[in-house]
Amino acid sequence: MQSYLDACRVPVTPIGRKEVPRLIMGIHPYDGCSYRDKKRDDDNYHIFNRVDKVSQVIRCAVEEGGITAVQVDHMNAELDRLHLQAIWEAERQTNTQIGMVAYILIPVVLDGDMVAYSPKAHATFYAENEKIAGDAFRKHIAEDDIIRYVLGGSFDGLITPESVSPYTREESARFEIDYGILERHLGFFEGCDIMVADPGAEIDLLAMTGRFDLIRAYLKFLHDRFDTVITSVHHAGITIPLLEEENIPVDGYLTTVNRPGTFMFPTRDMVIDVIRNVNKPVIAIKPMAGGRYLGQKAFEYVFNEVGVQASMFGMGTLEQVRETTIAARQVLGVA
């Protein structure tokens, strides 16, 4: 079987101790997520609810696009297991190893309860973004289409410090990482050859609440097991400077970058300024703004204007794979 590097037909970039393809297949929409609306989510579930349907698309990306890296996840047990099986099937069909970027949720707990995605976590994010960017952040988030999607099509459910109290200093001092749960998360990837480990965006909460001790311990745990450890960041304009100031030993960042600024916080301009001035590699996600900014211009922006090292993007149908990979490869000069 060819390695993912031998079969790769796009440029690669060094991240940590790995050479990583500059184009990476995202996991959406194979896990049902459309970033558009519930109907499209349901459609995705029915389109990609069999291994052969997903493996066919991955095989096309490998054989026709020369893209040999893919994101894997463990958050949706049913569809994510199907996705892993589809990757293994595509590897068998193409005789090609596919490098995996594994998203690993950080099981941060407070008094035994998980804090990830809790209302108080969202209130904390809002408060910290508002503190940094004020009216610019409030305007930005109120116009964000992916936030609207996450909230079910309306901003009525947006959590702010006025509706829910952020975590207090006393509460965040009691945060812990449940390593028993973490071992179960890692067990999901048993048998996988992980190219890059990617701690979840709970890093944002830990950084904003000053729990860099937990971040360092968690990263050491992963560095003992994986050659390259990056981290997802959903509030790059705040979190990346905090991590850099603390000299947190992470090999790179994975965060949203797109011209419309969708899902970039506190604002697009703040995120772009941080990315352009950071010395670590950055992998851009959502370059097409959740399907709202398509074609070659999306990749010209992230690679040529912003200057990221790699980009991860979702592709659904075979037609989408062909159109998107051609556009991305042209920008990288390998069409």
Q: Where does residue 194 fall: left (phi above 0), alpha (psi -120 to 50 degrees), or beta otherwise? A: beta
For residue 123, give the amino acid letter: A
**Model pLDDT for residues 39-66, shown as the tens digit of each residue:** 776 777 777 778 888 899 999 999 999 9
Residue 121 is encoded by which pair of tokens? 């976590």
Q: How far is 312 from 310, CA to CA, in rounded Å?
A: 7
18 φψ region: left (φ > 0), alpha (ψ -120 to 50), beta (else): beta
Other C-beta atoms closer than 10 Å to the C-beta of 194 total 20
| DSSP state string for 298-334 | HHIIIIIII--SEEEE---SHHHHHHHHHHHHHHTT-
Q: Is the pLDDT of residue 248 over 80?
A: yes
Q: Judge whether 162 lies within some domain.
A: no
Q: What is the CATH number of the domain that holds 316?
A: 3.20.20.100
- Residues 206 and 177: their CA atoms lie apart, in Å, by 11
Residue 285 half-sphere exposure toward CB, CA atoms < 13 A: 23
Write down the number of H helices and E strands in the chain.
Answer: 15, 13
pLDDT at 192 over 80: yes
Q: What share of the chain is helix, strand, coil (3-state, %, to 5)?
A: 45, 15, 40
| Range list of H helices, the chain | 4-7, 38-47, 51-65, 77-94, 119-133, 135-142, 145-150, 169-172, 179-187, 202-208, 212-223, 236-245, 268-277, 296-299, 318-331
Number of domains in the chain: 1
Q: Is the pLDDT of residue 230 over 70?
A: yes
Note the pLDDT tens digit of each residue in 109-140: 999 999 988 999 999 999 999 999 999 999 99
Per-residue model confidence (pLDDT) at position 36: 66
Domain that holds residue 207: 4-103+190-331
For residues 286-306, average pLDDT = 87
Distance of CA 181 to the CA centre of its chain: 21
Instruction: Decide if 281 is inside a domain.
Output: yes
For residue 295, being part of any structural domain is answered with yes
Instruction: Report residue 50 as tokens.
Output: 């069999």
Tell me the pTM. 0.95
Q: Is residue 171 part of a domain?
A: no
Is 163 a domain residue? Answer: no
Both tokens of residue 241? 């400077």
**How many CA atoms, within 13 angstroms, populate the side-chain half-sphere of residue 15?**
28
CA angle 25, 26, 31 (to 5 degrees): 130
Q: Establish if 121 belongs to a structural domain.
A: no
The answer, yes or no, to whether the previous bond of 166 is cis (omega within 30 of 0) is no
**Cβ-based neighbour number of residue 110 at 10 Å:** 17
Average pLDDT over residues 27-32: 74
Domain assignment present for 180: no
Q: Is residue 160 part of a domain?
A: no
Q: Which of 177-186, 209-218, 283-292 has the lowest mean pLDDT?
A: 283-292
- Max CA pair span of the chain: 56
Q: Residue 195 — pLDDT band, cuts 50, 70, 90?
A: very high
Mean predicted lDDT score pLDDT of the chain: 92
